[in-house]
Structure 1
């Protein structure tokens, strides 16, 4: 066991107005299974890069272990998988490698196939197995779930639960709950570490937030009461002071010493109340700093003139000589929230593209309602560049509504001035979702919309879909999201 110590860490990118980290200090035990959470753009990947020594910073990071970052590029993916593993860790022992691959349900024959012929999920598992063979290394695992289907996520989560010595960035609640024993969270104003899994951390956070909100309400009432009392006391002391030069009781002379003493006493009381008021204001300013704003979103879906929007009957899809899927049949009716599930490569994205009108070779029947308007969110965000204003104009959506939704999804106003190509993966995905929410359509089709998106935003999107109950077909591997949202499940 050793410690990674972070002391007075301060870092900001060149040209940035604000530091991402400011005098941050904490310690990490290298035996922990550490889940790393925080809203998009808060600096999770930046912090991992600081551990790797990629940027200059103020403060100190000390560790007695080396760091390995996942995922990393494979320079020669055309090589056999075994050669790729040997390049990562030349000193591997074959039986130890087979032990790790067996835990991840990867057969030995995979080692003798070109690495680039493996599915994204298989590549993820192979690279994790190779990295965990290394000794005295602390793994920085950055969003491994994005290329894993639901079964793959459960398998990798079980695998990580049997390991230790890693930081895991993930926004999948069930995945984190299954395999971590501590949570490192980047909040609005600090970084904190708590023992337990994600759900335990979230429960503690909600409890703390509710306490701060209650204290905030109490302090607001105290400030109002003290302010009014201070005004009254100040007014009384002024009135008493005036009587110094007046008369008391049937024209007799005023005892100026008595009146002055009384006025001074009232003034002192007023000053005391003022100090208590300032103290309450100071106390109030310490509250609510880390409460995440998660305002509700809105969706205004157009009604369709028929109950049935889409019908697929015995549909098979082909790419060249390969059959991607076959015998698929289901209908989409108004109010359906359909989860399209299946292993990677089972044809989910192909079915979605067919419904959206893509030129795909297929057999069977695909009936799309006449004049049906569809809003599509794709997995790919690489095309996003330029500014948000031009993007809104290009897609014919209301710019103010578009930006209001992004604000609710935790975009800062400063973010609006940046080129979209500089956004984080989660921020780019939020742009696509915000655009979709602005579009006047009958049906929403979202293909893995939550990739890279932070947990708080996922909860907002869940609440939106449950409150407004739009008709939606979606592919998503976040088990908790699917269980909460889907009214029907179609499995390929």
Structure 2
């Protein structure tokens, strides 16, 4: 069932075309994700489709009521549209004292309650923790109608979406499937563009060289020698002219083919960032960060108690948990080396906090990053390019930057700074998906140690090789990927109990056999190895 159709719509700001689309349709059951870099017009497109903003050209038709979940910073109201009449549900008086997460939950609930056939959601995961995001996923999957969604949460887009609309260079392109399907199709499209460009380049070079050589050959066809008689000269001239005409004709044909050759633009390609490991220095010792029996209470609430863990050189540790569980507090305590926390003397710690306090408002992006970096200007420019700053933009003063641009600048200042340990508090907040993916690539190449707090499941899965969850009763550092952590966490309790019984039985048997005085040395060493391995497995099971 058709719920919305847009025909020949356009929207511009001044001379800049934000987007144009010949035809967009939304049917019952659709789950459509709108993606693109910050500033390309995703929210503007949604507002046009939702009827909040009029297009400069074209028409949008609705076949049923709509509901809208606005971004948290776009007014404190949840809204419903019925036909062409919009009713605003004023809730600002209710949530004026609420946290960001509570406000978002209220907006989502108010929009879902309308049960409109078409739901628009603009960044509904902002300020939500993992539990809130999973609840939102379940609601959107079960929604009785169609959903059009803007989100920087790739896991959400993978779970929810059946189609992707990409806004890029003023055009709206449609891809079937979820976000991962879209990325795969984009990569294949890119590979095809590179192939076509290389074929175009080779053919152009071949035709250009052939044309040049042919023209040279035509000019070198010799005139009649001076000593040649008149009749012989005339005959030679006729033959030479004939040859020259043929050669010039061939040259003209090549020139014509060259002119008709369909031009292929070279695909855009960002340079890769290469960190000079010599800048970071060797981190000595088996432990870089040691946390021993640390307790933190805030306003009568215990965030964590008797917390102990250690971080090895080069580890990338994800700190996860619900809003208010103490993730930011823990990172701040590590940075200040609070009581019970020690950092290796060979470590130089860089700290990205959500306050962005490391930025100098009166300096440019370039000067903010350059002043604290030991990297070459080329490496810095490359890294800023990968964070999607143009050569002109890097000279903008921080005071005029958007929230997302400030975050990118602060992140670049940290990972390009003279640090070999990074503490990152919600580094993907306010970043669009392309920038998130570039940040992932950069941090994966970073040769030092990273501890980061995040709700971004895809980011955690790609980057982390250890996980610390502050929501659990037993606060222990899990060594492994986020997916391995989830598999261990979701392992049936009965299965764990049975596994513990098997391991305890094996341990008891090994202890009994090791006590025998008749054991040969080789057999004893093998049993001791089995004992240590079984004990290790039992301890890991106890930490679950």
Q: Same fold (TM over 0.5)?
A: yes
> Who is 1:479 aligned against?
457
Write the mapping of 1:458-477 to structure 2, written as runs, cut at 5 A.
458-477=436-455
Write the mapping of 1:98-137 to structure 2, written as runs, cut at 5 A.
115=95, 119-134=99-114
2:354 alignment partner, one of 366, 374, 379: 379
> Is contact 2:122-2:151 (8 Å) kept?
yes
**Counterparts of 2:214 and 2:430 in 1: how far apart (Å)?**
57
> Is contact 2:9-2:55 (8 Å) kept?
no
**Counterparts of 2:7 and 2:402 in 1: how far apart (Å)?**
24
> Is contact 1:314-1:327 (8 Å) kept?
yes
The answer on 1:68 being equivalent to 2:48 is no
The answer on 1:195 being equivalent to 2:176 is yes
Write the mapping of 1:316-331 to structure 2, written as runs, cut at 5 A.
316-331=295-310
1:452 alignment partner, one of 413, 424, 430: 430
Q: Residues 153 and 444 (structure 1 numbering): CA distance in 2 closer, same or farther, change over 3 Å?
A: same
> Who is 1:405 aligned against?
383
Q: CA deviation at 1:278?
A: 2.9
Q: Residues 348 and 72 (structure 1 numbering): CA distance in 2 closer, same or farther, change over 3 Å?
A: closer
- Secondary structure of 1:324 counterpart: strand
User: Which structure's CA Rg is the greater one?
Assistant: 2
Gaps of 5+ in 1: 77-83, 92-110
Gaps of 5+ in 2: 83-90, 471-544
**Counterparts of 2:464 and 2:316 in 1: how far apart (Å)?**
5
Q: Residues 441 and 302 (structure 1 numbering): CA distance in 2 closer, same or farther, change over 3 Å?
A: farther
**Counterparts of 2:272 and 2:391 in 1: how far apart (Å)?**
16
Q: Please, what TM-score do these two structures have when normalized by structure 2?
A: 0.73
> Is contact 1:8-1:24 (8 Å) kept?
yes
Q: CA deviation at 1:306?
A: 3.2
> Who is 2:270 aligned against?
293
Comparing 268-277 with 194-203, greater Cα deviation is found at 268-277
Q: CA deviation at 1:269?
A: 1.5
> Is contact 2:282-2:346 (8 Å) kept?
no
Q: Please, what TM-score do these two structures have when normalized by structure 1?
A: 0.80
Q: CA deviation at 1:405?
A: 1.6
> Is contact 1:299-1:438 (8 Å) kept?
no
> Who is 1:231 aligned against?
212
**Counterparts of 2:269 and 2:132 in 1: how far apart (Å)?**
31
Q: Residues 48 and 114 (structure 1 numbering): CA distance in 2 closer, same or farther, change over 3 Å?
A: closer
Comparing 191-200 with 252-261, greater Cα deviation is found at 252-261
Q: CA deviation at 1:19?
A: 1.9
> Is contact 2:19-2:167 (8 Å) kept?
no
**Counterparts of 2:203 and 2:385 in 1: how far apart (Å)?**
32
1:331-351 CA-to-partner distances (Å, cap 9, x unmatched) read 122111111111211111110
Q: CA deviation at 1:469?
A: 3.9
The answer on 1:37 being equivalent to 2:35 is yes
> Is contact 2:49-2:60 (8 Å) kept?
no
Write the mapping of 1:18-97 to structure 2, written as runs, cut at 5 A.
19-21=16-18, 23-29=20-26, 31=28, 32-51=30-49, 58-64=56-62, 68-72=68-72
1:264 alignment partner, one of 240, 245, 261: 245
- Secondary structure of 1:2 counterpart: strand
> Who is 2:479 aligned against?
none
**Counterparts of 1:398 and 1:168 in 2: how far apart (Å)?**
40
Q: Residues 135 and 421 (structure 1 numbering): CA distance in 2 closer, same or farther, change over 3 Å?
A: farther
Q: Residues 462 and 233 (structure 1 numbering): CA distance in 2 closer, same or farther, change over 3 Å?
A: same
Q: What count of residue pairs does the alignment treat as equivalent?
A: 450
- Secondary structure of 1:9 counterpart: strand
Comparing 178-187 with 258-267, greater Cα deviation is found at 258-267
- Secondary structure of 1:144 counterpart: coil
**Counterparts of 2:317 and 2:256 in 1: how far apart (Å)?**
59
Q: CA deviation at 1:434?
A: 0.9
1:142 alignment partner, one of 112, 117, 122: 122
Q: CA deviation at 1:394?
A: 6.6
**Counterparts of 1:373 and 1:440 in 2: how far apart (Å)?**
7
**Counterparts of 1:384 and 1:162 in 2: how far apart (Å)?**
47
> Who is 2:191 aligned against?
210
> Who is 1:94 aligned against?
none
> Is contact 1:40-1:424 (8 Å) kept?
no
1:432-477 CA-to-partner distances (Å, cap 9, x unmatched) read 2111122111310111111232333333333333334420101122
> Who is 1:273 aligned against?
254
> Is contact 1:294-1:409 (8 Å) kept?
no
> Who is 2:334 aligned against?
355
Q: Residues 121 and 8 (structure 1 numbering): CA distance in 2 closer, same or farther, change over 3 Å?
A: closer
> Is contact 2:368-2:413 (8 Å) kept?
no
The answer on 1:308 being equivalent to 2:287 is yes
**Counterparts of 2:329 and 2:422 in 1: how far apart (Å)?**
16
**Counterparts of 1:403 and 1:55 in 2: how far apart (Å)?**
38
Q: CA deviation at 1:297?
A: 5.5
**Counterparts of 1:244 and 1:331 in 2: how far apart (Å)?**
92
